[in-house]
A and B are shown apart, each in its own frame.
Chain A
Amino acid sequence: MPPSPETAPILEMRHISKTFSGMRALNDVQFSAYAGEVHALMGENGAGKSTLMKVLAGAYAADPGGEIRIGGKPVTITDPLGAKSAGVAIIYQELALAPNLSVGENIYLGRETRRGPLIDRSGMASGCGDILAGLGATFGPGTLVADLSIAERQMVEIARAIHAKSRILVMDEPTAALSNRETRRLFELIGRLKAEGLAIIYISHRMGEVYELADRVSVLRDGTCVGTLQKGEIQPEKIVRMMVGRDISSFYKKAHSGFSAGKLMLEVTDLTDGKRVKHANFSLHQGEVLGLAGLVGAGRTELARLIYGAEPRIGGTVKLDGRAVHFRGPQEATENGLVYLTEDRKAQGLFLDMTVSENINLQVIGRDAGWAGWLDRRHARQRAESAIKTLAIRVSGPEVEVGALSGGNQQKVLLSRLLETQPKVLLLDEPTRGVDVGAKSELYRIIDDLARAGVAVLVISSELPEIVGICDRVVVMREGRTVGEVGGESGVPITEQSIMALATGVKLEQRAA
């Protein structure tokens, strides 16, 4: 059957699988896009959306057996340049513009027109001026990108895609950093691009947007495409269920008694940093594991760092053990028994070139030290050895460099460092990120043991099954605000659906699923 523009998709991805060192990130995914449609791609964090788009962009090579067809012809995309010439343009959340160059120079980047050996500036300016005007831009090709707002920069990326004659435009969370008005304008623009026959793949967590924009919605879960909904079938509830519906495996541990027993340890009221955190409220009790859920970018990490004193606070109060506190730095927080485990252990947590012992002792060497800061090396060794034993860190000795350890063991070393300070409140940011399943279940047990020992634990996690599995209560954040709570006294059961509904802002009616 000859492909006709009415019926044949412009993009077809068939049987796409991708394995990373034995772990399946994508499993036989089918995905297509037609000219003149907006196809939304949804899924939890880590469901495989980015991996799929990176395969399309040529950043990852798919496993053999898959096929990508563009305009009916099979293509092999091996690098970003190949994607560009195949007509695929991707606008990432982190915009890929050079801020020190002008709009025109950015649009022509890598494909500058020349007059003889010299760059043809005026030709370039007039060449993209029309496109910019067509998009309704209020700036010209000569404007410096650094002077533009995020929304305007996005427009430059779109102009670049149009200029490169792209037929498929992928937008990854384009509204994450936009105001409401800017979002409206972007939607109008998307409508226009659609009318001009571009296929738009729209990745978003925001149910409202998808509902409004999408002609079709595909949902990924654990690397598999669980289904595609047509325009008429798109219902937020249906999508949420498709995104989360899976069994909770049994390796979570919750043997501590929960918050009913403990006294109030941490009370956060109206906390704000003026940027990513706006009016956060929650309370945390002794012996309780409180989950802090929300989508990426909801402000969870920022909130934790704000409480820890790593970022400046502009409003609100924090009460620790009944006393109002305002930590001006991590040192003060630690001294007062509140510590924070970073989500990025390699960049912000560990000292990879230093030994396990040095890493474990780093925050207590000052307390242990003698005159003039003389290190108490015997004590340090004892601490390290006992921490290695209690948390079952697999390492041949305390003098091994941390960089040589596996992810799970590195995480245990980092956790040990915090535990050595004997905290009353633990803020754990993505405590099981990048660790294998075995280490995960050990970390859950450690967290459970800590709660049983009376520590107040806050767990930030993007993995819903984990939150559901180990937390007594869950506070949900959306766009910098705490928008609700499940479990505990709220009466709402802790389920992935109930959390997701709060996180995305969809009201789910109470009923049996």
Chain B
Amino acid sequence: MSNSVSTGKPLPTAAAEQSHRQRMRTVVRSVGMLPVLIILGILIQAGCIYFTGEGRFLSWQNMSIVAQQASINAVLAAGMTFVILTSGIDLSVGSILAASAMVGLIVSRDFGLLGIPAAMLTGLLFGAMNGALIAYVRLPPFIVTLGSLTAVRGFARLIGNDTTVFNPQLPFAFIGNASLTIIPGVVAIPWLVVIAFLTIVVAWLILRRSVLGVHIYAVGGNESAARLSGIKVGAVLLFAYGASGLLAGLGGVMQAARLYAANGLQLGQSYELDAIAAVILGGTSFVGGIGSIWGTLIGALIIAVLTNGLILLGVSDVWQYIIKGVVIIGAVTLDRYRLRSSART
């Protein structure tokens, strides 16, 4: 091909407008729900000062607590982001977290640190089973993971004989309770937060810097086009659910490390809902193909800030539920309007 085709010059005005609109969209997308998070923080701090006389919310100590509270949910939500980007859903992460924590604790009693890989492998295995059923048997994700939500919960109870498993000498308990010292005596970051942050960074690298990431967005954006352009859709789905399971296993390690204990019945109950809420709050589209892992991080922080703030304000447990639900719906509604106004014509 020669330059005989390149007769057209871009129309200056249309192109400029297009690029301006594009830049606006990029800004809107990357900022996402950050304003909501900031406004929430300010409101809660103001509430604390008004009701209790001191700004307990915005203190280093409390921020560290919020970050720890957000960390397990952020890890689960990172896996959920992969899944929802492929236009799927994973309802089983709470149960997988419980099963992995049980396995991790039981193994740790005899084999010490090997509990960590054992827990994560358990998660990966259950996730891969979900993925195989969805990718190769072509069952709907909602149904597959609804089934494993129940079945894996049963497995978690089974391996602990339906009792709580303790390990007071848990060799990896530091993960849940100690901090990584950056500057001795001044800056220390809880290990939970370090792990969550690293998870987010790795997820970002996969999604935005690897071929696999492009394929995940492609499958979620247009599955038939992905198939027709030679993307191995099955392998992509298998990865997404496998990753979600693996990260649920990591969440299990984190949870067990905090408590020195795990209970197959109670651990991780309805964690999947918080993870899904974080992803959706982060602006990831439920139909797949659109979204970012940074949004998910902000979503997880919004949930943690809200929970923490409502406790600080002394709001009763009952009202906490109601307010949390309303905020989730409200924030997503806001997001819809915001995106629509900047959406393509």
Contacts and interface: CB of A to CB of B under 8 A. Distances in A.
A334 B230 contact: yes
Interface residues of B, number: 42
B1 A373 contact: no
A401 B5 CA distance: 23
B211 interface: yes
Interface string A392-418: 101111011101100000000000010
B5 A348 contact: no
Contacts of A389: 6
B4 A449 contact: yes
Contacts of A362: 214, 218, 229, 231
A331 B227 CA distance: 9
B270 interface: no
A342 B228 contact: yes
B221 A392 contact: no
Given A351-B221, A389-B6, A391-B5, 13 more contacts: A340-B228, A347-B222, A350-B222, A350-B225, A375-B213, A395-B15, A396-B10, A396-B18, A397-B22, A399-B26, A400-B19, A404-B22, A445-B5
A399 to B, nearest CB: 7
Contacts of A331: 230-232
Contacts of B316: none
Given A348-B224, A390-B1, A354 B211 contact: no
A329 B230 contact: yes
B2 interface: yes
A404 B210 contact: no
Given A310-B227, A396-B18, A404-B344, A351 B8 contact: no
B310 to A, nearest CB: 35
Nearest to A253: B4
Of B15, B211, B232, most buried by chain A (CB within 10 Å of CB) is B211
B209 A375 contact: yes
Nearest to B217: A354
Contacts of B290: 353
A450 B289 contact: no
B11 interface: yes
B203 to A, nearest CB: 14
Nearest to B212: A373
A340 B224 CA distance: 14
Contacts of B26: 399
A453 interface: yes
A396 B19 contact: yes
B221 A352 contact: yes
A392 B8 contact: yes
A173 B25 CA distance: 46
A403 B21 CA distance: 13
A330 B231 CA distance: 8
14 contacts: A347-B222, A347-B225, A351-B221, A354-B214, A354-B221, A362-B214, A362-B229, A372-B210, A389-B6, A392-B6, A392-B8, A394-B15, A396-B15, A449-B2
Contact of B1 (A310, A329, A453): A453
Contacts of A358: 214, 217
Interface in A346-368: 347-354, 358, 362-363, 365-366
A20 interface: no
B159 interface: no
A401 B26 CA distance: 10
A146 interface: no
A348 B225 CA distance: 4
Contacts of A390: 1, 3, 5-6
A351 to B, nearest CB: 4
Nearest to A335: B230
A330 B229 contact: yes
Given A351-B221, A396-B18, A400-B18, A363 B6 contact: no
A354 to B, nearest CB: 6
B1 A352 contact: no
Contacts of A446: 1, 5
B162 to A, nearest CB: 42
A373 to B, nearest CB: 4
Given A349-B228, A396-B19, A449 B1 contact: yes
A21 B232 CA distance: 40
Contacts of B8: 392, 394, 442
B132 to A, nearest CB: 19
A450 B232 CA distance: 29
